[in-house]
């Protein structure tokens, strides 16, 4: 076993009196990848933010290389060789890629004024070098805002791994990456590990954990459950440790598609110049259809256009056989379409508003008279949905939705549209950053909704998810549909191949 | 005693036009010091901030405070009706400074004629020094501040035109908004001078000493100081200082003697309160202050110049 | 739960209530005139212009907007009454003034919402334009709104009664202000419109994706703001028997001060009208009390600045706000 | 990286440069308009006049640009400028200190006001708008209290040289301003401080997580801004050879207008000093042209507001179009 690098002892942390971490230990050795697991809200991010100096601990101790350390600010941690890749992206949109790579630590010129002035040449060179690590072809002078989301994420990752860190923390770094990119990232991680860098790796994707980690630490409800070598655990035992109960590996039980099911949503030759072209498909009542494509293939734009969050240039949309003129979300809603956006925190929820108010945000018409809410009715409806979807929160429906875990937040967005009584439900990446337990809940819901006759369109970049929950899978490549698979004929190879443009 | 308002001690409210400019500050100071001199008068102060609503609110406050009389220096005749209605209902007599109000005893500047004094002086100077003809006139006015400055400006303009041998045509007159600050008059005069490149005899009439100073500074910056002659209104210390400079281009300013307002206002107010007859309007005497007569009036303020 | 909510709403304004009480105690002990009914009536009347506008500025700011043009708009609307009263008759002129306010608000709203100009800049530009137009239409003169000919006594008397009439001892404008605050409280807390204001200010994109008519709501908030300025102008004109292009000097800053003092976040998404009401009362008590003491104008300005800082600082301490919350507003406007 | 996204066209006509370009275009349109309206616009006397009067707003705008880039705003600049002149004359005339020292001390006091702004914003964490709104009225009040409302003459050739003198045929204040622009443009473009400021304006939270000392940067920014505002105040006093507590009334609005006109975003994280310089010049030319055209001052207010809205709308519409063309949302 390598030398001990980090030891956290008895970490306690509470927010506004709510205990988030209780007596949590963590040890980390040089040259190892430690997986940090737990449900949403278990306290993983909080623990590493404490390590990083972003949050201050209430009590406990941190030892780095045997020395007691205390970080007041992230830059203190950085100075001690601790680097973070955050769950949320952190970049300055108007600065170039190169500057973003080195921000906070810009290469300075030598000489007496070196403290103040940047060595542009060196910075550009190093940026090129760093970008080459993950085989990325981005001009380091491009402003960050001109990159796609995925490119930005990759720059973030490179930024962290390129720094000369002793300890690297990755909080769900792969959520937006495609399989080849994940593979490249893992290669880099292995190389860093060989150099003796220690890595804390947080992910809800168990398969990744088994690929990359040597040891695992599991948290549940802010407490330490176990720390074990990977060789001593199985997926099932991990899940049990995390959730505290057994969850069988999910396989959605798809209801048989009845041959005569009505077409709920039909899209004909939808096009948006430069984004997607000539898209036609149907979704029947009670059917779950997934669109799978590498990120940036246009699937997000496509579903946004169907709902009205964006405008398409050409084509037509039918709901229940009626052509719809959809130019804004209100039209989408009127047509009976519900829309769960890709990033619930940024796009789905008003975080400062209560669960109840978020639930009824789109649906005041049914719950009000003369535009004034009927408080009893509103509470009653909210309660119904909270129970129906099993939304869990401490403090009831008047708690700001900010305090809910990711999975439960996702359910709130879902409930909003169910309350609106939609016929077609579009979900974008419904399980991003959602833990196994909540993921299983969400699949249950989808299954139930489909059985009730809802037409469901899912965009997902998680191939396992796509294969397990869909009646049909459509693949999208560079804005065009390339293939369609029935549940029975869809396989990982075929779908990936089609989505990479290799099929047909 | 017959007179119901007569008392041993009086509480008199004074609401100033604004506290932002020197002239009105001097008015306030004179009233306060006159009250100290009288011994039986307490002054309650307020600031009308050049605003009708504030003047009305101050009136209400005076009534609340139980003043015996009100001296109002406010911004517009149009607000006189409502202010006077309130005071009448409360049975409080009002004196109005500079802006007449219906039923109030008027005191103060005869703004138009005060303006004329300066205009005439400037006209005479042009007659003597520039053969009775100027090339252009800059009018540094204050259109945002209502009728008081407007009357002064009109007086200056009329006084000049009626005195000077060759009247200026409308095209030769440039109306500029001084915004009541030196730097704004500096800016607008600086902007205007290039449009009168051939004018070498420029006269300027300005709403107060500050704008006169800004005007002169602008001419100096443009290298045309000797082509301009300026008159103004007020004769504040800063204006006096400018007049007494060597080669000064500040011909002079109409003196309002705000430092004397109190001495005339308060006795009149007490006459009103003690039911003695008071003229409906009391005018302040105006004198056009120049380098020559300055020491008659301001020997103490300009000691360095007057008592060398 | 209800109880907790109510008490938390109370908590939010508790600091303000204490501050108001403190000011009242200080002012009352400094002058025994302060607490006389007469003075309190004056105090309330003086706060009506700011109060009427502040109701809608609060809504606007909760939705993430800002309107600096309210004072200029009020001046413009007053001048519209003054300029049109003779040719069109008094009441039609009043209606047109209200429409003018709404129109100015609509233009602000469209520029902010559809052209995407930052609210601060939009309304700063409008501040300049509206004030300029007020001077243009009035020729820089204060216009008497008075029955000069004596032919329309009824109309002009009724107009004057708008501000002079009293009910239960309080003048109508005070009732109007109270009514608007009450109405605003209802709207903000119980109506879909109020809910939308909070949602849009809290997260515009999420509101849009929740199928709220975001742009329409935004525009409407600006229209209401302009309309409230016009309403304030009508009462001001009625009170002064005159329309002044210089009217309402600095009122935009007083309004913002009152709203922010009341705990409404410049970032949007947060705020309450009760706080704004207290903010208005705090500012006018402070001003009124200092006037009774004949405090000099400069000192009044300094004290007001300090009170604003103090109130916001207390708020920060109470919130235990350790994040860089103050910059979030700019972040948010960036995303739009 | 798989090239699935629609190919982005690289072009120099992007971001800041096009904003500045469209500004320059508006500038020329404005110039041509005025040149056709008044024969005096394109005279050397007018050029000299413009050159003399740029510095006040120009220098103050540098500080405001920094502050806006950092995501804040400073309303107190006009009051600080007034305070600076008032203090200079206080130290010189009342305390009989040497004029140079008086000026230095006045600037120092202004800098302290900036430090105070910065401390309130970073330590108590009060919104910059509110903070500087409060110091705006406090500092203006102080200027009145200190000067007792009086205008004071500052007759001293060395002092007035700052505002009126010329060096190699150019006004000294203009040269000072240009030097400051060059220096600060360099700081913004090439110094770590400058780049970090953009990052902070882009997102203070993220900048903090990237290891930038946000508070210190903001503190420096507000301090610099107040110092530059104080310098503007000194130039005003030097131009007029006098100081007044009412000086620089409304300067904050003019300066913010100029900076935003120059393409600096109120949202923070975006802007350039070149743009600001052009914005300052456009505003100055606009005022100058309107005076030359003898437009009534009432209409000047209207025109100023309209030009501000038009220029910003134009920029927004252009941005919107380019975003549409790029097909992103
Ligand atoms: N700044 C904060 N203020 C209040 N509560 C917080 C804060 N940060 C985290 N929490 C709460 O602390 C708990 C732990 O959150 P944390 O982000 O550490 O979970 P996590 O394990 O990272 O979950 P996920 O898998 O969803 O990322 C949650 O209940 C969360 O709501
Ligand atoms: N160019 C315009 N000129 C005048 N009024 C307009 C204009 N565009 C929109 N409006 C007004 O604004 C209202 C809102 O516009 P619109 O319906 O496009 O947006 P929305 O439904 O509020 O939301 P979103 O655009 O976010 O989907 C319209 O009903 C219309 O009254
Ligand atoms: Mg987390
Ligand atoms: Mg729309």
Tens-place pLDDT, residues A366-425? 888 888 999 999 999 999 999 988 888 877 898 899 888 778 899 999 999 988 889 999
D contact residues 4-63, partner A, Cβ 8 Å cutoff = 4-6, 8, 10, 15
Range in A243-257, C76-90, D207-221 the model is least confident about: A243-257
In C, what residues contact B, Cβ < 8 A? 33, 36, 38-39, 42, 45-46, 49, 135, 140-144, 146, 236, 239-242, 244-249, 288, 291-292, 294, 296-298
Give chains near A: 3+ CB pairs under 8 A: C, D
Q: Are C46 and C287 in contact (CB under 8 A)?
A: yes
Q: Which of C213, C214, C218, C222 to mutate to test the pocket of ligand 2 (most atoms within 8 A of CB)?
A: C213
pLDDT score at D190: 83
Distance from CA of D167 to the nearest CA of C (A): 37
Instruction: Report how far residue C217's alpha carbon sits from residue A40's, in angstroms, rounded to the nearest whole number.
Output: 35
| Span C117-128, pLDDT tens digits | 889 889 989 999
Q: Which of A15, A18, A39, A400 best tests ligand 1's pocket when mutated (most atoms within 8 Å of CB)?
A: A15
pLDDT for D132: 92
Does the residue D319 lie in any domain?
no
d(CA D287, CA D290): 5
pLDDT tens sequence across D137-165 = 899 999 999 998 888 888 888 999 998 88
- Dihedral of the alpha carbons of B140, B145, B147, B149, in degrees to the nearest 10: -40
Residues A66-93 pLDDT 10s: 999 989 888 889 889 898 887 666 677 7
Nearest CA to ligand 2 atom 2: C110
Q: pLDDT class for C319, splitting at 50, 70, 90?
A: low
- Residue pLDDT, tens place only, A297-320: 889 899 999 999 999 999 999 999
- Hey, is the C-beta of D156 within 8 angstroms of any chain B C-beta? no
Q: Residue D46 belongs to what domain range?
A: 39-248
The answer to whether C204 and C214 have CB atoms below 8 angstroms apart is yes
**Cα of A267 from ligand 2 centre, angstroms:** 26
Strands A4-15 and A59-64: antiparallel
Residue D264 forms part of a structural domain: no
Asked if B79 lies within 8 A of C142 by C-beta distance, the reply is yes
Residue of B63 and D327 predicted with greater confidence: B63
- Of A252 and A169, more confident: A169
Per-residue pLDDT band for D4 (boundaries 50, 70, 90) equals: very low
Nearest to B57 by CA among C157, C275, C163: C163
Condensed to tens digits (0 to 9), the pLDDT of residues A336-363 reads 999 999 888 888 999 989 999 999 998 8
Dig out the tokens for C93 from the structure.
């002129």
Residue B84 C-alpha, separation from nearest chain D C-alpha, in angstroms: 30
* Choice among C158-162, C277-281, D3-7, D262-266 with the minimum mean pLDDT: D3-7
- Contact check, Cβ <8 Å, D201/C330: yes
Answer whether residue D113 is part of any domain: yes
Residue D300 forms part of a structural domain: no
Percent share of chain D, pLDDT over 90: 54
Average pLDDT over residues D158-181: 92
Whether residue D27 has pLDDT greater than 90: no
**Parallel, antiparallel or unpaired: strands A215-220 and A223-229:** antiparallel
Strands A198-202 and A33-37: parallel
Span C32-48, pLDDT tens digits? 999 999 999 999 999 99
pLDDT band at C14 (very low <50, low <70, confident <90, very high): confident
Look at B212-221, C85-94, C259-268, D242-251 and tell me which has the smallest mean pLDDT: C259-268
Domains and CATH numbers, chain A: 4-243 (3.40.50.300), 250-336+423-432+453-504 (3.40.50.300), 344-421 (no CATH)
Q: Are the beta carbons of C249 and B44 separated by less than 8 Å?
A: no
Taking CA atoms only, the protein residue closest to ligand 1 atom 9 is: A46
Is the pLDDT at D318 greater than 70, yes or no?
no
pLDDT tens for each residue of A377-389:
999 999 999 998 8
Number of domains in chain D: 1
Query: What topology does CATH give the domain C2-321?
Result: ABC transporter involved in vitamin B12 uptake, BtuC (1.10.3470)
Residue nearest to atom 6 of ligand 1 (CA): A15
pLDDT at A251 over 70: no
Q: C250 vs B45, B51, C49, C70, CA distance in Å? A: 21, 11, 12, 10
* pLDDT band at A504; cut points 50, 70, 90: very low
| Of A228, A230, A249, A252, the residue nearest A239 (C-alpha) | A249
Q: What is the pLDDT of residue C179?
A: 97
pLDDT digits over C166-189, tens only?
999 999 999 999 999 999 999 999
C282 lines ligand 2 (CB under 6 A): no
The pLDDT score that the predictor gives to residue A119 is 81
Of all residues in chain C, the percent with pLDDT exceeding 90 is 69
Higher pLDDT, D154 or C73: C73
Is the pLDDT at B178 greater than 70? The verdict is yes
Listing DSSP states for D207-255 in one string gives HHHTT--HHHHHHHHHHHHHHHHHHHHHHHHHHHTEE-TTTTTTHHHHH
- The answer on pLDDT for B243 being more than 80 is yes
Mean pLDDT of B206-230: 94
Residue D323 confidence (pLDDT): 59
Nearest Cβ partner for C140 among B56, B63, B143: B143
The residue-averaged pLDDT of D288-314 equals 86
* Closest residue in A to C203 (Cα–Cα): A350
Residue C336 scores a pLDDT above 70: no
Residue C196 and residue C121: Cα distance in Å, rounded?
A: 24
Instruction: State in Å: Cα C220 to ligand 4 middle.
Output: 14
Q: What is the pLDDT of residue A110?
A: 73
Please tell me if the CB atom of residue C213 comes closer than 6 angstroms to any atom of ligand 2: yes
- The whole-chain average pLDDT of chain C stands at 88
pLDDT for D19 equals 67
pLDDT recorded at residue B62: 95
> If you average pLDDT over every residue of chain B, what do you get?
92
Nearest to B197 among D45, D155, D300 (CB): D45
Cβ distance A136 to D1 less than 8 Å, yes or no, reads: yes
Q: Per-residue pLDDT averaged across C82-89, rounded? A: 94
pLDDT at D97: 92
> Which residue's alpha carbon is nearest to atom 4 within ligand 2?
C110
- Which amino acid residue places its CA nearest to atom 4 of ligand 1? A15
Task: For chain C, give every domain's residue range.
Answer: 2-321
In this model, does residue A457 exceed pLDDT 90? yes
Residue D165 resides in a domain:
yes
And the tokens for A76? 């203190």
Residues of C in contact with D267 (CB under 8 A): 118, 330-331, 333-334
pLDDT of residue C1: 41
Among D267, D241, D224, D263, CA closest to D165? D241
Model confidence pLDDT, tens digit, residues C198-245: 999 999 999 999 999 999 999 999 999 999 999 999 999 999 999 999
- Average of pLDDT values for D35-39? 90
Instruction: Tell me the H-state helices in A213-344.
Output: 235-243, 299-307, 329-334
**A48-52, C206-210, C305-309: range with lowest mean pLDDT:** C305-309
* pLDDT tens digits for range B244-281: 998 899 999 999 898 889 999 999 999 999 999 999 99
> Per the CB < 8 Å rule, is A103 touching D207?
yes
What average pLDDT does this structure show over A177-200? Answer: 84
Answer yes or no: is D328 within a domain. no
pLDDT of D70-79, one tens digit each? 999 999 999 9
CB neighbour burial string for B206-244, b if at least 16 within 10 angstroms, e if fewer: bbbbbbbbbbbbbbbbbebeebbbbbbbbbbbbbbbbbb
Q: Give the model's pLDDT for residue D6.
A: 34
Say if the Cβ atoms of D301 and C111 lie within 8 Å.
no
Which chain A residues are within 8 Å of D10, Cβ to Cβ?
A: 139, 142
CB pairs under 8 A between C and D: 160
């Amino acid at each position: 076993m390598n030398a001990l690098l980090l030891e956290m002892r008895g970490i306690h942390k509470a927010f506004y009196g709510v205990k988030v971490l209780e007596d949590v230990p963590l040890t980390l050795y040089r040259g190892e990848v430690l997986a940090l697991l737990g449900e949403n809200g278990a306290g993983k991010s909080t623990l590493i933010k404490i390590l990083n100096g972003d949050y201050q601990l209430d009590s406990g101790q941190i030892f780095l290389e045997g020395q007691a350390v205390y970080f007041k600010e992230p830059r203190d941690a950085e100075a001690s060789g601790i680097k973070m890749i955050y769950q949320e992206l952190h970049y300055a949109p108007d600065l170039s890629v190169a500057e973003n790579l080195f921000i906070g630590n810009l290469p300075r010129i030598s000489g007496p004024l070196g403290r103040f002035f940047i060595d542009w040449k060196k910075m550009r060179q190093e940026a090129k070098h760093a970008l080459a690590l993950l085989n990325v072809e981005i001009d380091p002078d491009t402003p960050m805002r001109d990159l796609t989301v995925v490119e930005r994420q990759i720059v973030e990752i490179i930024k962290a791994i390129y720094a000369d860190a002793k300890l690297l923390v990755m909080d769900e770094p792969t959520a937006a990456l495609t399989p080849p990119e994940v593979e490249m990232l893992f290669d880099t991680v292995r190389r860093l590990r060989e150099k003796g860098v220690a890595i804390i790796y947080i992910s809800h994707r168990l398969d990744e954990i088994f690929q990359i980690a040597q040891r695992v630490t599991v948290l549940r409800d802010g407490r330490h459950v176990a720390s074990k070598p990977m060789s001593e655990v199985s997926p099932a035992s991990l899940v049990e440790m995390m959730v505290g109960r057994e969850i069988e590996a999910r396989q959605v039980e798809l209801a048989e598609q009845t041959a005569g099911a009505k077409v709920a949503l039909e899209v004909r030759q939808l096009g948006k110049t430069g984004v997607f072209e000539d898209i036609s498909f149907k979704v029947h009542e009670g059917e779950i259809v997934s669109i799978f494509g590498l990120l940036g293939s246009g699937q997000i734009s496509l579903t946004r256009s169907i709902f009205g969050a964006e405008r398409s240039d050409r084509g037509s949309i039918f709901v229940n056989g009626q052509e719809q003129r959809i130019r804004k979300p209100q039209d989408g809603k009127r047509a009976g379409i519900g829309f769960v956006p890709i990033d619930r925190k940024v796009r789905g929820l008003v975080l400062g508003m209560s669960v109840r108010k978020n639930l009824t945000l789109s649906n005041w018409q049914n719950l009000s008279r003369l535009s004034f809410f009927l408080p009893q009715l509103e509470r009653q409806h909210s309660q119904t949905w909270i129970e129906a979807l099993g939304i869990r929160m401490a403090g009831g429906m008047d708690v700001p939705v900010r305090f809910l875990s990711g999975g439960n937040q996702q359910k709130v967005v879902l409930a909003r549209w169910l309350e609106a009584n939609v016929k077609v439900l579009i979900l974008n990446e419904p399980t991003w950053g959602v833990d196994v337990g909540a993921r299983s809940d969400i699949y249950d819901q989808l299954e139930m909704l489909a059985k009730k006759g809802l037409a469901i369109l899912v965009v997902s970049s998680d191939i396992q998810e796509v294969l397990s929950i869909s009646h049909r899978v459509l693949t999208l490549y560079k804005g065009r549909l390339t293939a369609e698979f029935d549940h029975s004929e869809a396989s990982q190879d075929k779908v990936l191949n089609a989505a990479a443009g290799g099929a047909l | 005693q017959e007179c119901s308002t007569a008392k041993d001690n009086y509480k008199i409210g004074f609401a100033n036009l604004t506290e932002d400019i020197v002239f009105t500050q001097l008015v306030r100071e004179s009233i306060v010091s006159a009250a100290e001199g009288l011994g039986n008068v307490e002054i309650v102060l307020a600031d009308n901030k050049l605003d009708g609503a504030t003047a009305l609110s101050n009136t209400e406050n005076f009534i609340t405070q139980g003043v015996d009389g009100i001296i109002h220096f406010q911004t517009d005749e149009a607000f006189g009706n409502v202010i006077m209605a309130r005071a009448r209902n409360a049975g409080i007599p009002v004196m109005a400074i500079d802006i007449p109000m219906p039923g109030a005893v008027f005191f103060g500047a005869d703004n138009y004629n005060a303006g004329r004094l300066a205009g005439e002086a400037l006209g005479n100077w042009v007659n003597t020094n520039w053969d009775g003809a100027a090339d252009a006139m800059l009018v540094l006015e204050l259109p945002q501040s209502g009728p008081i400055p407007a009357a002064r400006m009109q007086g200056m303009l009329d006084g000049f035109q009626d005195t000077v041998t060759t009247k200026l045509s409308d095209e030769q007159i440039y109306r500029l908004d001084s915004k009541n600050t030196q730097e704004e008059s500096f800016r607008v005069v600086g902007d205007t001078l290039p449009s009168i490149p051939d004018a070498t005899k420029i006269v300027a009439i300005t709403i107060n000493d500050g704008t006169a100073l800004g005007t002169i500074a602008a001419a100096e910056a443009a290298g045309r100081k000797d082509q301009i002659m300026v008159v103004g209104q007020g004769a504040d210390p800063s204006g006096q200082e400018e007049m007494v400079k060597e080669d000064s281009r500040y011909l002079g300013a109409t003196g309002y003697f705000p430092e004397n307002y109190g001495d005339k206002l308060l006795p009149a107010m007490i006459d009103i309160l003690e039911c003695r007859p008071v003229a409906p309007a009391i005018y302040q005497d105006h004198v056009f202050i120049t380098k020559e007569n300055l020491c008659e009036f301001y020997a103490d303020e300009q000691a360095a110049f007057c008592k060398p | 739960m209800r109880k907790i909510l109510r008490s938390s709403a109370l908590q939010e304004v508790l600091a303000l209530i204490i501050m108001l009480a403190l000011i009242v105690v200080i002012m009352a002990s400094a002058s025994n005139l302060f607490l006389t009914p007469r003075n309190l009536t004056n105090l309330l009347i003086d706060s009506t212009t700011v109060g009427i506008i502040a109701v809608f500025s609060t809504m606007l700011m909760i939705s993430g907007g800002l309107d600096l043009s309210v004072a200029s708009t009020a001046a413009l609307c007053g001048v519209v009454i003054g300029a049109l009263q003779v040719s069109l008759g008094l009441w039609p002129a009043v209606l047109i003034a209200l429409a003018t306010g709404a129109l100015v608000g609509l233009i602000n709203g469209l520029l902010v919402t559809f052209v995407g100009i930052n609210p601060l800049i939009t309304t700063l530009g409008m501040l300049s334009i509206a004030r300029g137009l007020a001077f243009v239409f009035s020729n820089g003169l204060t216009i008497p709104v008075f029955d000069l000919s004596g032919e329309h006594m009824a109309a002009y008397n009724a107009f004057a009664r708008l501000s002079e009439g009293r009910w239960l001892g309080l003048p109508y404008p005070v009732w109007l202000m109270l009514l608007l605050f009450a109405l605003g409280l209802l709207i903000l807390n119980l109506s879909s419109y109020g809910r939308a204001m909070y949602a849009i200010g809290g997260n515009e994109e999420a509101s849009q994706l929740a199928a709220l008519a975001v742009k329409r709501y935004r525009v409407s908030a600006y229209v209401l703001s302009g309309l409230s300025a016009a309403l304030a102008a009508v009462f001001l004109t009625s009170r002064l028997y005159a329309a002044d292009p210089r009217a309402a000097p600095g009122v935009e800053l007083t309004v913002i001060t009152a709203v922010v003092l009341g705990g409404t976040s410049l970032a949007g998404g947060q705020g309450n009208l009760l706080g704004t009401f207290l903010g208005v009362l705090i500012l006018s008590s402070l001003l009124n009390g200092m006037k009774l003491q004949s405090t000099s104008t400069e000192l009044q300005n300094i004290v007001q600045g300090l009170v604003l800082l103090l109130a916001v600082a207390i708020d920060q301490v109470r919130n235990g706000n350790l994040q860089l919350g103050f910059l979030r507003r700019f972040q948010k406007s960036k995303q739009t | 990286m798989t090239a699935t996204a629609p190919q982005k066209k690289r072009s120099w006509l992007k971001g800041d440069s096009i904003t500045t370009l469209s500004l320059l275009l508006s500038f020329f349109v404005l110039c041509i308009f005025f040149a056709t309206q008044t024969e005096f616009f394109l005279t050397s006397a007018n050029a000299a006049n413009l050159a003399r009067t740029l510095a006040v707003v120009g220098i103050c705008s540098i500080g405001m640009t920094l502050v806006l880039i950092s995501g804040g705003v400073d309303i107190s600049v006009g009051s600080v400028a007034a305070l600076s002149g008032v203090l200079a004359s206080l130290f010189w005339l009342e305390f009989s200190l040497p004029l140079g020292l008086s000026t230095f001390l006045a600037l120092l006091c202004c800098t302290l006001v900036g430090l105070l702004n910065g401390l309130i914003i970073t330590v108590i964490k009060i919104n910059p708008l509110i903070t500087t709104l409060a110091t705006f009225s406090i500092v203006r009040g102080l200027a009145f209290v200190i000067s007792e409302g009086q205008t004071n003459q500052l007759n001293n050739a060395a002092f007035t040289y700052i505002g009126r003198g010329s060096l190699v045929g150019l006004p000294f204040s203009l040269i000072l301003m240009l030097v400051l622009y060059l220096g600060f443009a360099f700081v913004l473009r090439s110094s770590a401080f400058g780049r970090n400021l953009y990052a902070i304006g882009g997102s203070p939270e993220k900048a903090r997580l990237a290891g930038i000392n946000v508070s210190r940067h903001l503190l420096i920014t507000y301090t610099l801004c107040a110092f530059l505002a104080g310098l503007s105040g000194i130039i005003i006093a030097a131009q007029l050879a006098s100081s007044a507590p009412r000086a620089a009334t409304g300067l904050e609005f003019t300066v913010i207008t100029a900076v935003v006109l120059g393409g600096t975003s109120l949202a923070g994280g975006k802007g350039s000093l070149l743009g600001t310089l052009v914005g300052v010049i456009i505003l100055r030319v606009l005022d100058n042209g309107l005076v030359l055209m003898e437009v009534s001052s009432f209409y000047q207010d209207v025109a100023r507001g309209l030009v501000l809205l038009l220029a910003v709308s134009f920029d927004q519409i252009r941005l919107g179009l380019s975003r549409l063309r790029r097909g992103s949302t």
